[in-house]
Amino acid sequence: MNSLEKTLRYIVLGGIFLLPFVCLLVTTSLFFPYITGKNFAFRIIVEIITGAWLALALVSSQYRPQRSWILGAFAIFVLIMAIADAQGVNPFKSFWSNFERMDGWVTIGHLLMYTVVAASVMRTELLWRRLFQLSLVISVFLTVDGLFQILGKVALGEGGVSGLSARIDATFGNPIYLAIYMLFNIFVAALLWAQQRQAPQGKNTALSYWYGAVIVLDTAALFFTGTRGTMLGLIGGGVLALLIYAVVQGTKQVRTYTVVTLIVLAVLGGGLKLAKDTAAVKSIGFLDRLASISLSDNTINARFLNMGIALQGVKERPVFGWGQENYAIVFDKYYDPRMYAQEPWFDRVHNIIFDWWIAGGTLGLLAYLSIFFVTVWAIWRRDTKGARAFSVAEGSILTGLLAGYFIHNLTVFDNVTSYIWFGTILAYIAWRSASHEAAPAVPSNDILNSEMLPYAALGAAILTAGALWMVNGNAIAQNMTLLKAIAPQSNPSVNLTYFKQASAYGSFGTQEVREQLAQGASQIAAATTIATDTKQQFYQLALTEMQQQAVDSPLDARFPLFLGIIYSSFGDAANAAAALEKAHELSPRKQTIYFQIGQTALARGDNAGALTAFKTAFELDTSDSQARLLYATVAIQLAEDSLADQLLAPAIANDTAADQRILGAYVSRKLYAKAITIWQAHISATPSDMQAYFTLAALEYQVGNKQLAIAALEAAKKQDPTVAAQADPLIQQIQAGTVKLQ
């Protein structure tokens, strides 16, 4: 092996061993600091190691992948997705994704390259063991980081309070991403433990205890993420591994332990369900979340509604689907009004089956599922001599890992760290099974002789440099510029310049640049300290960019809605109505669009149109309390008092009517008595709301009931003596008749 070959090999191995550190990156200099830095690092490392590997593979078959059903299935999946993305409704976004997700075909393409390279170059059990051990060390570091979040020494990425109820996220910014990362590490620690126990010198060694400690620590971290799908994945995968081991090879003692374990889990699960309302369970976040698992749970119900929406999309495009990153279009088109309590925009089904079914159609989904099928088959397949590549213990753990990962993905979706782990496990199983069978390299014949290695290396370096720039150059520059555009600057004109620069890069973050620009322009429209000329420049740029975005993605209701909001913010109600009508055509059952249509109609003086819009939004799902209150607010503003009374009657009964919009509408018409009735009912239902007493006092004072106003304040003091400092001066002013209400 000459020096150049060694150098290239070390570059490949160095990159592979660098990937476990990607999860530690939090790049505050980039937009979406928990997402983009990790993904750019993954792509850059993979591009470099692929270039170095390509030079080696061209001159030596020992660096080429051995024939493998796993690698073949993965390659077919990536190919089918390329076809699906190319014929999808937005090929550019399908290929490149955006800053928030950093997914798309470019990511699964990189993942395939990484998997092939790792399976080709990591040719010894020692190398794999060292890679796994390195990851376990990093996982323990992250567990400690999560512990500090619980203790309040390190801030939670998603915000919130520390303590046992906290959902830790370490360097991931999302508890879900940390959870699946820990699940992989737990099973890999179990795998190394089993291998250590099987080794002649392995029983009761320090390494065995170390692996056991990692399992305990990482399991604790996983549970403190509060991610229910992953907790169930760990339990389900662990039980499956234990059952397989007990059935295939376990002794009577192992089978007894298995039965006892199942009984204990059943008892613990039942006990947790019975104790779900106790203070002890409520005080510990992950126990509370586990105990609250129910088909009637709001989050779980939303998952099922999303699946129903996705199924409508599958029926429309059943073969190759809509292309990656296009579920948002399906979500808008087939929006279920019962989703009103969820966020207004979903770009994932949060179920891996439906996500790939939507993205790649039936062919894409089957190709994805085939990866799991052939991987499990490779784990348990016997060769011509009846031997397996993996022991029963190893096979059980790896099968449990794949099952746990799949269960996790039934409620969420992948991110770059779970992708890296998935690719790593596939590469390990592919290498081990192919090596066990002495499978030939693909291709096995010579391509270039060894003397051509310098030229191959030069060519690979040129290709790598081009890939690095094409995939990452403009994208990173655009990302950093966008961050400057939304950051406070000395003058709004500076922000505008940065927005122009960010958009000019034309990379895959352009949609997010335009959306941030639209939001900024809408906010600036109402600012009194910004020059009119600057406002107009923002307005014109935001209009131009969002109009182009609507052209680039003509089936997405999000962009005409943004366009309508921009028009409305700058007083152009006519054009706003036209844009919002387009949004309505693309998403005919979405309440938020009707709300905006109604507000625009009010601005145009179309009272009947406004009332109709809010009425329609409310009637899409009458359990939507916000739609009810908005409809009632407009009814009050338009003097439709009997309609408002009818709408508010059930809201008063369930204590949702004490809303500032309702208050403002009644006060604007000086209908204080109606507001008094609502706030009296609210105080009776929620006596701990101190502000409500002050609101009631103000209303009573407005109608001349000074004594009742004072009584409300005295009731507040009785309920909470600490408010006396505010209430007593106000009481004195009421008695003196000197109160000045704003």
pLDDT tens-place string over residues 671-713: 999 999 999 999 999 999 999 999 999 999 999 999 999 999 9
pLDDT at 200 over 70: no
Q: Supply the pLDDT for residue 647.
A: 97
Confidence bin at 736 (pLDDT 50/70/90)? confident
Worst-scoring range by mean pLDDT, 214-223, 318-327, 698-707? 698-707
On whether the CB atoms of residues 17 and 6 are closer than 8 A, the answer is no
Q: Supply the pLDDT for residue 137.
A: 98
Name the amino acid, one letter, at 472: N
What one-character-per-residue DSSP string does 133-144 give? HHHHHHHHHHHH
Q: What's the total number of domains in the chain? A: 1
Percentage of the chain beyond pLDDT 90 is 87
Residue 82 burial by Cβ neighbours in a 10 Å radius (0-12, 13-18, 19+) = middle
Which pair of tokens denotes residue 425? 């496990």
Mean pLDDT throughout 61-71?
A: 95
Measured distance between the N- and C-terminal CA atoms of the chain, rounded to whole angstroms? 84
Q: How far apart are CA 187 and CA 425, in angstroms?
A: 11
* SS3 label, residue 382: strand
Confidence bin at 204 (pLDDT 50/70/90)? low
Q: Supply the pLDDT for residue 742.
A: 56
pLDDT at 433 over 70: yes
Q: What is the dihedral of CA 92, 98, 104, 105, to 10 degrees?
A: 50
Name the amino acid, one letter, at 256: T
Residues ≥6 apart with Cβ < 8 Å to 386: none
Q: How many CB atoms lie within 10 A of CB 208?
A: 17
Name the amino acid, one letter, at 103: D
Percentage of the chain beyond pLDDT 70 is 99
Q: How far apart are CA 168 and CA 181, in angstroms?
A: 13
Q: Supply the pLDDT for residue 206.
A: 85
Whether 1 is in a domain gets the answer no
pLDDT at 169 over 60: yes
Mean pLDDT throughout 466-476?
A: 97
Confidence bin at 161 (pLDDT 50/70/90)? confident
Which pair of tokens denotes residue 633? 């607010």
Whether 363 is in a domain gets the answer yes
Q: Tell me the backbone φ, ψ of residue 357, rounded to 5 degrees.
A: -65, -45
Whether 428 is in a domain gets the answer yes
Name the amino acid, one letter, at 423: G
CA nearest neighbour of 596 among 549, 627, 564: 564
pLDDT at 205 over 80: no
pLDDT at 202 over 60: no
Mean pLDDT throughout 33-49?
A: 98
Confidence bin at 321 (pLDDT 50/70/90)? very high
Mean pLDDT throughout 486-514?
A: 96
Mean pLDDT throughout 586-610?
A: 96
Q: Supply the pLDDT for residue 591.
A: 96
Whether 483 is in a domain gets the answer no
What one-character-per-residue DSSP string does 639-693 give? T-HHHHHHHHHHHHHTT----HHHHHHHHHTT-HHHHHHHHHHHHHH-TT-HHHH
Per-chain mean pLDDT for the chain: 94
Whether 140 is in a domain gets the answer yes
Q: Supply the pLDDT for residue 741.
A: 60
Q: Supply the pLDDT for residue 250.
A: 77
Q: What is the pLDDT of residues 560-591, one digit of tens each?
A: 999 999 999 999 999 999 999 999 999 999 99
pLDDT at 739 over 90: no
Whether 80 is in a domain gets the answer yes
* SS3 label, residue 68: coil
CA nearest neighbour of 194 among 256, 230, 238: 238
Mean pLDDT throughout 12-16?
A: 98
pLDDT at 596 over 60: yes
Whether 344 is in a domain gets the answer yes
pLDDT at 481 over 90: yes
Q: How far apart are CA 599 and CA 580, in angstroms?
A: 11
CA nearest neighbour of 303 among 178, 225, 412: 412
**Residue 396: domain span:** 64-436
What one-character-per-residue DSSP string does 597-618 give? HHHHHHHHT-HHHHHHHHHHHH
Q: What is the pLDDT of residues 347-396, one digit of tens each?
A: 999 999 999 999 999 999 999 999 999 999 999 999 888 899 999 999 99
Q: Tell me the backbone φ, ψ of residue 447, rounded to 5 degrees.
A: -110, -55
Name the amino acid, one letter, at 672: Y
Query: For residues 267 and 201, which has the higher predicted lDDT (pLDDT)?
Result: 267
Biggest alpha carbon distance in the chain? 102
On whether the CB atoms of residues 109 and 78 are closer than 8 A, the answer is yes
Whether 129 is in a domain gets the answer yes
Mean pLDDT throughout 163-174?
A: 94
Q: How many CB atoms lie within 10 A of CB 263?
A: 10
**H/E stretch holding 55:** helix 36-59
Confidence bin at 184 (pLDDT 50/70/90)? very high
Could you give the count of Cα atoms lying within 13 Å of 686 in the half-sphere of its Cβ? 15
Q: Supply the pLDDT for residue 254.
A: 86
Q: Supply the pLDDT for residue 367.
A: 98
